[in-house]
A and B are shown apart, each in its own frame.
Chain A
Amino acid sequence: MILIGVTIVLGIAMMAFSQYTINGQHKQMGENLTIEKVQVTGTTIKAYVRSIGDSAFTLSYVNVNGKTCTVSFESGYTAQISANGQNVTITGFAVSSNYLIQFVSTSYRAFPIQVKP
């Protein structure tokens, strides 16, 4: 009897864990971001990004040429990228003639774009 109970509990625990894992996988697989426009002006990069995935895209950080930069959002917008699109302002990068910008989600999915100002 105890063995059956333990088995059921373990089964439920396994199912919960698998669901958690599946949801995590779903979130990562469903994330998608389109970078509509990037404008480099001096030491500021302004990018217009839009979440086009099946699940919400939450921006964790932005890398410019391998360096994590400061990201700021317009009033009314957050790191959870809007499906209608929003501006993201990036500062704190080294000025260069060529930029590799990577938008990385909280589930570590990266969306790169190369820009020549």
Chain B
Amino acid sequence: MKAPFSKLRRNRKGGVSVVIATIMAVFVLMMAVSQIYLYQNTLTSQTQSTLAEKFTLTNLFVNTTDSKTYFTLTNTGTVEIEFIAIWVNYSRTPFKELLNPTEANMTGLNLKTVINDTFTFQVETSRGNRIIQTYSPLPENAPPDVQATGVFKMSWFYCQYTSSKQRTKSDLLNLSIATSGDKYVVVYLQLTNNWIYPTTIKAQSFLTFLIYSTDPEFYVVNGATYPSGTTTCTDTNTKLTQFTEIVVQPQQTITLAFGAQAPSSTTWNWGSSFPSSVIGTGEGANMLVSVFYTLNGYSAKTFGETLTAQAVRLNSGS
């Protein structure tokens, strides 16, 4: 080690070149290392952003009234997310959406020309993350809470007998059928679509009182219509119109009317012969409602749900 340095001391040019070469080598090494280090940092930061990108996809359903596929995206991560595309099965649709952390947005898009029973829905982000969800509008695939409570939830019902009677609610327990003049008997009940998909209640839906073993059955009607501005109905102006179907949107509540169809007839007019025993007048009268419905636009398949109710006297003194 002594010899080279002693030589360098004598050879000044050689010494300078060695110093320059050393400085350059160190400079090159530092440059290489720093560039790779800095670039590695950039990539690490990108990877961290990709990992920090978290989001949820909820409320996915197809609304057949406007044929749009609705869904809610929520940014649950800590970085801004840019959504760029949506896949429905193997069909890709560009989709631009920017969501800041904690931000959520519900979107409705025209994605499908033919609405199938089930399809795979996938959302892509610019960083390459994705969520895939299988959309299946069948009741057996409903969330557990919907399976437990049913697609429809009944909140109340009451009976009303029409013709020459005022349009006021009559408690089932207090219902009495007049011996003359009454023509129609209608049971009203309120249903809420408990699911996240729109449904269509069909005309085949019916209601029966278990106390009565034979006809009549109560078929769903459009309700009793009355001349506007009147509170009292007469035999001639009260009508029950035939029900076709009704679309019930998610969480929408509707009132269904079930009219007692006259035996051996297609009319609703009972004259004065409506048997009072059809409707239980005492506590414990059981009612059974069979609601038939389809899932809008998905298939011709009709689903059924049975709802039961029992009359309870709320006021113990009466």
Binding site for B on A (CB under 8 A): 1, 3-4, 6-8, 10-11, 14-15, 18, 21-22, 25-26, 29-30, 32, 34, 36-37, 39, 46, 48, 50, 52, 54, 85
Contact assessment for B24 and A52 in the assembled complex, using a CB-CB cutoff below 8 Å: no
Of chain A, the residue at the smallest CB distance from B24 is A11
Q: With A4-B17, A10-B21, A37-B122 known to touch, is A22 a contact of B32 (CB < 8 Å)?
A: yes
- Pick from B25, B35, B128: contact of A34, CB under 8 Å: B128
Compute how far the CA of A30 lies from the CA of B35 in the bound complex, rounded to whole angstroms: 13
Measured between C-beta atoms, what is the minimum distance from A34 to chain B in Å?
3
* A residues less than 8 Å from B21 (CB atoms): 7, 10-11
28 contacts between A and B (CB under 8 A): A3-B13, A3-B17, A4-B13, A4-B16, A7-B24, A8-B20, A8-B24, A11-B20, A11-B28, A14-B24, A15-B24, A15-B28, A21-B32, A22-B32, A22-B35, A22-B36, A22-B39, A25-B36, A26-B35, A29-B39, A29-B40, A36-B87, A37-B87, A37-B122, A39-B90, A48-B92, A52-B126, A85-B92
Compute how far the CA of A46 lies from the CA of B90 in the bound complex, rounded to whole angstroms: 10
* B residues less than 8 Å from A22 (CB atoms): 32, 35-36, 39
* B residues less than 8 Å from A34 (CB atoms): 124, 128
Contact assessment for A18 and B14 in the assembled complex, using a CB-CB cutoff below 8 Å: no
Of chain B, the residue at the smallest CB distance from A18 is B32
* B residues less than 8 Å from A36 (CB atoms): 85, 87, 92, 122, 124, 130
Contact assessment for B25 and A11 in the assembled complex, using a CB-CB cutoff below 8 Å: yes
